Amino acid sequence: MNFNIALIGGDGIGPEVTAWAVKSVEKAGLAGGHTFKWTELQAGGCAIDQTGEPLPQDVLKKAKACDALLLGAVGGPKWENLPGNLRPERALLGLRAGLGVFANLRPAYLLLELKDACPLKDEVLKAGNSEGKASFDLLIVRELTGGIYFGERGRGINVSGSEDFAYDTEKYSRSEIERVLRVAYDAAAKRRGKLCLVDKANVLESSRFWREITQEMAKEYPNIETSYLYVDNAAMQLIRAPGQFDVIVTSNLFGDILSDEASVISGSIGMLASASIGQKEPGCKYPPGMYEPIHGSAPDIAGKNLANPLAAILSGAMMLRYSFGLETEALKIEQAVSSVLKAGYRTKDIAGRGGSSVKEKITGTKEIGEAVLAAL
Ligand code: NAD
């Protein structure tokens, strides 16, 4: 198959890390005869420098015309004092909305090679793990384009004029909930077959609505074990027994908080990938998909061959899996990353975390990237 992929390296370390993602995707696809055409586009700070806008209209148009989008990171101190609507990060919101990617998938798992980076004790890790292993492997599916971040908001003064107030509104339509649930159920079907809805149904009407719709949809997925947790309990369970979770699905606000909590227990920001996906439109070959490491542009280490490219490389694997259904190729990349870590390769951000059993080789971006390619 031939794929046309939009590539936005962005700012800071973005272009450095995506370069290795591109090479890894190409190499993984080679054996299956897959070819990739990369349409390089500029968004974020570099686009502001060239055009005055973080996301020029023609960039969005070109990105939409591609089969998927791979992004590095945007932003940096140079653009920090610009007004909100002209800041580089605005490009991310514009791309998400423009591409219609409503489900954010963030895997969080413990790589045994980096186990010492996890702040949880072994007994905690073993607590919820069905095989009694000191490990976890979960996927958070966060609704991305609705809820309180996009609901009606405002400020006012009460009738007597004695006090001012502010409000935000959590509002979800049935279709918004159904489409993200479907993404989560489909992901659970490809994983260990467990889905947990996280809500606050004991208090919020919008959460009760999520729960009703999930209960209805659960009937369509008899092979998936569906469970429900209140968000306060879920926040606790994530650090008390993360091994109990497979897929967690939740609203925009709850997902924002829980996915950051999950990333902390995984260890390093330089290792975590993410995918944002949408619904396939008639006439399109693939559903819209945007893939990016969760880290930012790390201006402090940009251009110094210090950035860890593994999160970007793993984002490439997610693209192959979720946009194109190339599970074998995605696994190849994930296994290559794992074998490179087993062999002791480490960028500085993940060095000294493997325990005494691993003899570490401290390398730069280029050397660890080359090691992944060699493993592939
Ligand atoms: P950051 O993620 O860029 O960096 C935080 C720390 O982690 C830094 O010390 C950095 O050196 C380190 N780090 C990050 N990625 C790394 C990697 N791959 N390898 C090794 N070390 C890594 O977060 P920040 O410093 O808060 O933000 C810097 C800029 O990035 C800001 O302009 C911010 O708005 C932007 N940002 C962009 C995105 C995005 O594009 N999705 C996300 C977060 C932040």
Q: What is the CATH number of the domain that holds 84?
A: 3.40.718.10
pLDDT 10s per residue in the chain (376 long)? 999 999 999 999 999 999 999 999 999 999 889 999 999 999 999 999 999 999 999 999 999 999 999 999 999 999 999 988 899 999 998 999 899 999 999 999 988 888 877 889 989 999 888 888 889 999 999 999 999 988 999 999 999 999 999 999 999 999 999 999 999 999 999 899 999 999 999 999 999 999 999 999 999 999 999 999 999 999 999 999 999 999 999 999 999 999 989 988 887 788 899 999 999 888 889 999 999 999 999 999 999 999 999 999 999 999 999 999 999 999 999 999 999 999 999 999 888 765 556 788 999 999 999 999 999 9
Q: How far is the CA of 270 from the centre of ligand 1 (A)?
A: 9
Q: How far is the CA of 349 from the centre of ligand 1 (A)?
A: 12
Supply angle C-alpha 346, 350, 352, rounded to 5.
85
Last residue of a domain, one of 215, 250, 266: 266
**Residue nearest (by alpha carbon) to ligand 1 atom 44:** 296
Residues 148 and 214 in one domain: yes
pLDDT (0 to 100) of residue 282: 87
Pick the atom of ligand 1 nearest to 310's CA: 18
Residues 370 and 323 in one domain: yes
Q: How far is the CA of 74 from the centre of ligand 1 (A)?
A: 9
User: What is the model's pTM?
Assistant: 0.90
Q: Which residues of 321-336 are buried (b: 16+ CB within 10 A; e: fewer)?
A: bbbbebeebbebbbeb
Last residue of a domain, one of 226, 245, 266: 266
Q: Where are the alpha helices (DSSP H) in the chain?
A: 14-30, 45-51, 57-65, 90-99, 122-127, 174-190, 205-218, 231-240, 252-266, 310-322, 327-342, 365-375
Answer yes or no: is 110 within a domain: no
Q: How far is the CA of 211 from the centre of ligand 1 (A)?
A: 35
Residues 31 and 70 in one domain: yes
Range of the domain at 328: 1-102+296-376
Answer yes or no: is 108 within a domain: no
Which residues are annotated as catalytic?
149, 200, 232, 256, 260
Q: How far is the CA of 14 from the centre of ligand 1 (A)?
A: 10
Answer yes or no: is 275 within a domain: no
Under 8 Å CB-to-CB from 127, ≥6 apart: which residues?
A: 240, 241, 243, 244
Residues 98 and 128 in one domain: no
Residues 79 and 167 in one domain: no
Last residue of a domain, one of 245, 266, 287: 266
SS3 137: strand
pLDDT (0 to 100) of residue 354: 59
Q: Are 38 and 62 in contact (CB under 8 A)?
A: no
Q: Are 345 and 371 in contact (CB under 8 A)?
A: yes
Of residues 130, 131, 125, the one with CA closest to residue 238: 125
SS3 361: strand
Please give the single-letter amino acid code of residue 185: Y
Q: How far is the CA of 357 from the centre of ligand 1 (A)?
A: 30
Pick the atom of ligand 1 nearest to 79's CA: 32
**Residue nearest (by alpha carbon) to ligand 1 atom 4:** 298
Residues 155 and 260 in one domain: yes
SS3 347: coil
pLDDT (0 to 100) of residue 351: 85
The span from the CA of 305 to the CA of 14, in Å, is 12
Count of structural domains, the chain: 2
Q: Are 191 and 136 in contact (CB under 8 A)?
A: no
Residues 135 and 255 in one domain: yes
**Ligand 1 pocket residues where CB is under 6 Å:** 13, 17, 73-76, 89, 92, 269-270, 292, 295-301, 307-308, 311, 347, 349
Residues 342 and 310 in one domain: yes
pLDDT (0 to 100) of residue 143: 96
Supply angle C-alpha 370, 375, 376, rounded to 5.
95
Answer yes or no: is 109 within a domain: no
Of residues 31, 14, 15, 41, the one with CA closest to residue 320: 31
pLDDT (0 to 100) of residue 359: 86
Answer yes or no: is 255 within a domain: yes
Pick the atom of ligand 1 nearest to 80's CA: 32
Q: Ligand 1: which of 11, 90, 269 to mutate, most ligand atoms within 8 Å of CB?
A: 269
Answer yes or no: is 229 within a domain: yes
Answer yes or no: is 291 within a domain: no
**Residue nearest (by alpha carbon) to ligand 1 atom 10:** 298
Residues 219 and 84 in one domain: no
Residues 86 and 130 in one domain: no
Answer yes or no: is 112 within a domain: no
Q: Are 79 and 48 in contact (CB under 8 A)?
A: yes
Residues 59 and 130 in one domain: no
The span from the CA of 231 to the CA of 157, in Å, is 32
Residues 158 and 200 in one domain: yes
Q: Ligand 1: which of 81, 101, 297 to mutate, most ligand atoms within 8 Å of CB?
A: 297
Q: Are 310 and 351 in contact (CB under 8 A)?
A: no
Q: Are 139 and 113 in contact (CB under 8 A)?
A: no
